[in-house]
């Protein structure tokens, strides 16, 4: 597994510390040191440096991806999945992360069948996952300005041919903007509104009710991904699996993505 080495992209010209050159130097040095330690197979030490960067308040898809690789190298599957998933939240289009994540998932004990989605929902989810909701938002803004410009041409044009052409263009752009907005809202919902978690208990019983005396519904193992749909008393979370099953799990057994 290779790590991300894009230092310029990592900090960029619009760093969150634009006036703190010392802080930027520290972050850059920590990132380079963490990458060097990874290349020397010192994965635990590499993780310590990546965590220093996160503790300073900076996060990026590259850091989470590299941390996922480190955890995979030390056979910590749950943390590896957790950080790959966090990387995807920031950069859904990164195929390296998705490929690594799928490879790690193949080693899990639990094999949960997913409820089949309709063709429309499946396509909507796959296309919206290509970009983050911020990118979809930029697309929609640019298209809206084009729509506005075309409307101005249509409004002031005296030529019948130009009016017909721009009117058809307005209809087409309206449909495109509507589709892009739908993709953006779907990306926002999937990645930022819906809450998912990774199970960190080696083996855990999913309960029918939020108490230890409740009946067991099923058993899950470390590394499984679940959707959090409700909470109770700050100690329990109601989860939903890909196959539609629901149950309760203690919060200290999971980590939110």
Residue 3 has pLDDT above 60, yes or no: yes
Q: What percent of the chain has pLDDT over 90?
A: 56
**DSSP code of 227?**
E
Per-residue confidence band for 30, with pLDDT thresholds at 50, 70 and 90: confident
At residue 241, φ and ψ (nearest 5 deg) are -90, 170
Look at residue 107 in the predicted model and tell me its pLDDT: 86
Select from 1.25.40.10, 3.60.10.10, 3.90.1150.10, 1.10.10.10 the CATH code of 7-105: 1.25.40.10
Model's pTM, two decimal places? Answer: 0.73
Q: What percent of the chain has pLDDT over 70?
A: 89
For residues 247 and 257, what is the distance between their CA atoms, to the nearest angstrom? 19
The 10s digit of each residue's pLDDT in 129-180 is 888 888 899 999 999 999 999 999 999 998 999 999 999 999 999 999 999 9
Q: Report which of residues 10 and 235 the model is more confident about.
A: 235
For residues 232 and 235, what is the distance between their CA atoms, to the nearest angstrom? 6
The residue ranges of DSSP E strands in 45-180, in sequence order, are: none
Cα–Cα separations (whole angstroms), residue 98 to 31, 32, 79, 89: 22, 24, 15, 11
254: part of which helix (H) or strand (E)? strand 254-256
Tell me whether the CATH fold assigned to 7-105 matches the one assigned to 195-256: no
For residues 220 and 217, what is the distance between their CA atoms, to the nearest angstrom? 10
Across the range 71-98, mean pLDDT stands at: 92
Q: Which residue, 222, 225, 205, 202, is CA-closest to 214? A: 205
At residue 57, φ and ψ (nearest 5 deg) are 105, 0
- Which CATH code is given to the segment(s) 195-256? 2.30.30.40
For residues 199 and 144, what is the distance between their CA atoms, to the nearest angstrom? 42
Q: Which residue, 183, 175, 5, 27, is CA-closest to 93? A: 183
Half-sphere exposure of 174 (CA within 13 A, CB side): 7
The residue ranges of every structural domain in the chain are 7-105, 119-193, 195-256
């Amino acid at each position: 597994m290779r790590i991300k080495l894009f230092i310029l992209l990592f900090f960029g010209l619009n760093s969150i510390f634009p006036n703190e050159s010392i802080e930027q130097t520290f972050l850059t040095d920590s990132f380079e040191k963490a990458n060097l330690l990874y290349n020397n197979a010192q994965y635990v030490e590499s993780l310590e440096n990546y965590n220093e960067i996160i503790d300073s308040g900076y996060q990026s898809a590259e850091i989470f991806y590299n941390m996922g690789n480190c955890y995979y190298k030390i056979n910590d599957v749950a943390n590896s999945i957790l950080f790959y998933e966090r990387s995807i939240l920031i950069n859904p289009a990164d195929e390296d992360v998705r490929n690594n994540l799928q490879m790690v998932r193949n080693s899990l004990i639990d094999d949960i069948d997913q409820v089949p989605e309709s063709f429309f929902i499946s396509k909507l989810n796959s296309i919206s996952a290509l970009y983050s909701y911020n990118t979809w938002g930029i697309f929609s803004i640019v298209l809206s300005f084009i729509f506005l410009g075309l409307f101005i041409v249509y409004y002031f044009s005296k030529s019948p041919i130009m009016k017909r052409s721009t009117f058809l263009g307005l209809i087409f752009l309206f449909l495109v903007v509507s589709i892009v907005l739908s993709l953006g809202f779907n990306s926002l919902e999937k990645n930022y509104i819906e809450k998912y978690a990774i199970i960190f208990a080696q083996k855990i019983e999913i309960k029918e009710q939020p108490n230890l005396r409740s009946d067991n519904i099923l058993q899950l193992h470390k590394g499984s991904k679940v959707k959090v749909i409700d909470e109770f008393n700050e100690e329990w979370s109601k989860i939903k699996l890909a196959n539609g099953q629901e149950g309760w799990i203690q919060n200290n057994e999971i980590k939110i993505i």
